Amino acid sequence: MKIAVCIKQVPDTANVKLDPETHTLKREGVESIVNPFDLFALEAALRIKEAAGGEIVAVTMGPPQAETVIKDAIGFGVDEGLLLSDRAFAGADTWATTAVLAKAIEGLGDVDLVICGKQAVDGDTAQVGPGIAQRLGLPHVAFVKGFREIENKRLVVERQMDDGYDVVELPLPALITVVREVGEPRPPSLKGKMRAKKYTVPMQGAADLGLDASQVGLAGSFTQVVKVFAPSHSGERRRLEGSDEQMGAQVIDALVDNQVIMLGS
Amino acid sequence: MDYFFTEEQEMIRDLCRQIAEERIKPVRAELDEKEEFPREIMKALAQADLFQIIIPEEYGGLGGGCLENCIAVEELSRACCGVSTSYAASFLGAYPMLLFGNEAQKEKYLPLIGSGEKLCAFALTESASGSDAGSIQTEAKKDGDSYVLNGSKQWITNGGEAGVYTVIAITDRTKGARGATAFIVEADDPGFSIGKKEVKMGIRASATSELIFKDCRIPADRVLGKEGLGFVVAMRTFDKSRPGVGAQAVGVAQGALDEAAAFARVRKQFGKPIITFQAVAHMLADMAVDIEAGRALVYAAARYIDSGAKDFSKVSAIAKVFPTDMAMRVTTNAVQVLGGHGYMREYPVEKMMRDAKILQIYEGTNQIQRNVIGQELNKEYGRKK
């Protein structure tokens, strides 16, 4: 089975700070990491490969320094990587991003399964996975939490829902996005890391993919970010006074009055 | 301090540190409390290729030596000695195959051990035979194309968890020290079973069990080296493995200093952090001095062994004695720096103190190590006269 895994380089949001004046992310000095949800996508791909054999290619779109996430993926044990990088890709929204990723996956040839993390922690849109499926005309299942059957031409997966999960059968080729429950990512391996050190990451730009500048980046985007801001606090604020017990009782009363909680009889 | 590691050695250190932080530290107290074998962690170590470190490249390994092993063991021990004991014991069982195995044995077993598919164990000690290894009772009798083993082994690390065991048994009682032979025993060999699992003071995540051989029949091609080499196999194995115990000591001591120094910076008495009191600061300073001396010794001994040195029993014993005695001092003082907190199970240093104790005992007590060093000195100075 040939598997393509889409990964993204993101700032390590666990350690990111906001500029108090502009309300934008302070990126200087913040380490870049593989989007944490994409690590679950890599883990899912590695498990499927262990079960069914095959080959895994990790694909990312980003600036040249995004090659480090491809090297990280090689360290985890994927077979090949591909970096999609071009000045023309800058400013892409999710739609323009899927144009690039879909073309690149098409170019890999005979991909049986595309796996994405459910969303990226910097944009949080969860649109890129399904967008790629749309572009490639593939069936897709989002929020996959587990696999029931893995065969060459079909998968049976469990899709996480708010109130349980669905069991979905889908023919391959297909695309899935995965959630945390799919399995804890393994540590990188020594052999993988040694291979990653020597690995030259193949790079493709718009021309290599046969894409026109108008289809990618800001030009190919339907949306653009006009302003980033921290929402101002709204709603009523009340200051409680008294002993701990009294304040505790007032909190309970307020929660009950506003029907946030209900007290049992 | 920079010990001028190669890029590969740094990679081993960093990866082990990452696994220790992410996978071992969060569960070490629970593993200790429940005396639970860390199967998930062993799986992660296998996925990270850490069981490949000392396996030669021709068998799929990384071809590392004693130093690479010490680096890995030190980092894992910094988080938990119970975990690092389980890990290192697999190499202890594998060294006899590496050193004395024939081509067919290496081809069969080393890839299994390197991939982590099977853990390995080494079995010498018996209930009446500890430091006096020559007094073992377990017997192996040749019977046609097989050997039949009878007897039992005690306190075997990874007993019940390992898939492959190196077992030392007597093949000819009349020949004394030349009457023992090393065998490879597989967990599912007929007549082989696991007895009592011990309840221990420390390294409680590791499994320590009795092995029982009752007419255990194994093919004759499981002999390591040849008949009569049993004790040579054991001693050469220990020479290789002892710096690894020193590395465990350096790791657990470093872990204890990490905790003690961090605590002393935030714990306030008389209105000041206790690290600003000279009595406490000097304890921490002595710990740091001790640890660095132990670390430099372990790395130097490991490099000497990896250089292809022929006779390194003394160096290997020295690299076990000093660091393990040091780790007992350092972990005890770490508990002292934390005071009442240190005595409570809520803080990790009391576990480190319990864990450190075994390092002075297993793989040859520190008294036996001093015998080895003393005998070598006697030889050296006898030659010089």
Over chain B, what is the mean pLDDT? Answer: 97
Given 3.30.70.260, 3.30.230.10, 3.20.20.60, 2.40.110.10, which CATH number is that of B121-230?
A: 2.40.110.10
pLDDT band at A25; cut points 50, 70, 90: low
Nearest to B18 among A187, A194, A197 (CB): A187
Q: Quick one: average pLDDT of B186-204?
A: 98
Residue A192 scores a pLDDT above 70: yes
Q: What is the pLDDT of residues A66-77, one digit of tens each?
A: 999 999 999 999
Q: Count contacts between A and B (CB, < 8 Å).
A: 34
Whether chain A has a CB inside 8 Å of the CB on B19: the answer is yes
Q: Which residues of B117-144 are buried (b: 16+ CB within 10 A; e: fewer)?
A: ebbbbbbbbbeebbeebeebebbbeeee
Q: Is B50 on the interface with A (CB under 8 A)?
A: yes
Structure tokens at B383: 């030659």
The H-or-E segment that residue A3 falls in is strand A2-6
Q: Distance, in angstroms, between A194 CA and closest chain B CA?
A: 8
Residue with tokens 């050190």: A197
> For residue range B80-103, what is the model confidence (pLDDT) as tens digits?
999 999 999 999 999 999 999 999
| Interface probe, candidates A50, A76, A190, A191, chain B, greatest B C-beta count within 10 A | A190
Chain B contact set for A192 (CB, 8 A): 49
Task: Parse chain B into domains and list their residue ranges.
Answer: 7-119, 121-230, 231-384
Helix (H/G/I), strand (E/B), else coil: B37? coil
Q: Is B53 on the interface with A (CB under 8 A)?
A: yes
Q: Where are the beta strands (DSSP E) in chain B?
A: 120-123, 139-143, 146-157, 164-170, 180-186, 192-197, 208-219, 223-224, 268-269, 272-273
Q: Which residues of A touch B49 (CB under 8 A)?
A: 189-192
Q: Please tell me whether residue B154 adopts helix, strand or coil conformation.
A: strand
Q: Are B76 and B83 in contact (CB under 8 A)?
A: yes
Give me the catalytic one of B57, B126, B363, B376. B363
pLDDT in tens, B218-233: 999 999 999 999 999 9
Closest B-chain CA to A76: B48
Domains B7-119 and B121-230 share a fold: no
Q: Which residues of chain A lie closer than 8 angstroms to B8, CB-CB?
A: 194
Q: How far is B93 from chain A (nearest CA, A)?
A: 22
Question: What are the structure tokens assigned to B168, written together?
Answer: 């030392």
Q: How many CA atoms, within 13 angstroms, populate the side-chain half-sphere of residue B132? A: 7
The pLDDT tens digits for A97-128 are 999 999 999 999 999 999 999 999 888 889 99
Tell me the per-residue pLDDT of B332-352, one tens digit each, with 9 for 90 and over: 999 999 999 999 999 999 999
Least confident of A12-21, A133-142, B5-14, B157-166: A12-21
**Which two tokens mark B307?**
């250089």
Supply the ipTM of this predicted assembly: 0.88
One CATH from 1.10.540.10, 2.40.40.20, 3.50.50.60, 3.30.70.20 for B7-119: 1.10.540.10
B15 to chain A, any CB pair closer than 8 A? The answer is: yes
pLDDT of A22: 64
Length of chain B: 385
What CATH number labels A2-215?
3.40.50.620
Q: What is the mean pLDDT of residues B270-290?
A: 98
- The overall pTM is greater than 0.90: no
CATH classification number, B231-384, choose in 1.25.10.10, 1.20.140.10, 2.40.50.1020, 1.10.10.410: 1.20.140.10
pLDDT at A23: 62
B11·A191 Cβ contact <8 A: no
pLDDT over 80 (residue B375) = yes
pLDDT for B361 equals 97
Encoding tokens for residue A215?
């289809």
For the segment B10-30, the average pLDDT, to the nearest whole number, is: 97
Q: Is B350 a catalytic residue?
A: no
B69 in A contact zone (CB under 8 Å): no
Please determine, for residue B287, whether its predicted confidence score (pLDDT) is greater than 80. Answer: yes
Q: What is the pLDDT of residues B105-138, one digit of tens each?
A: 999 999 999 999 999 999 999 999 988 888 999 9
What is the C-alpha to C-alpha distance for residues B102 and B100, in angstroms, rounded to an integer?
Answer: 7
Strand partners, A175: A114, A140
Report chain A residues whose CB lies below 8 A from the CB of B44: 186-187
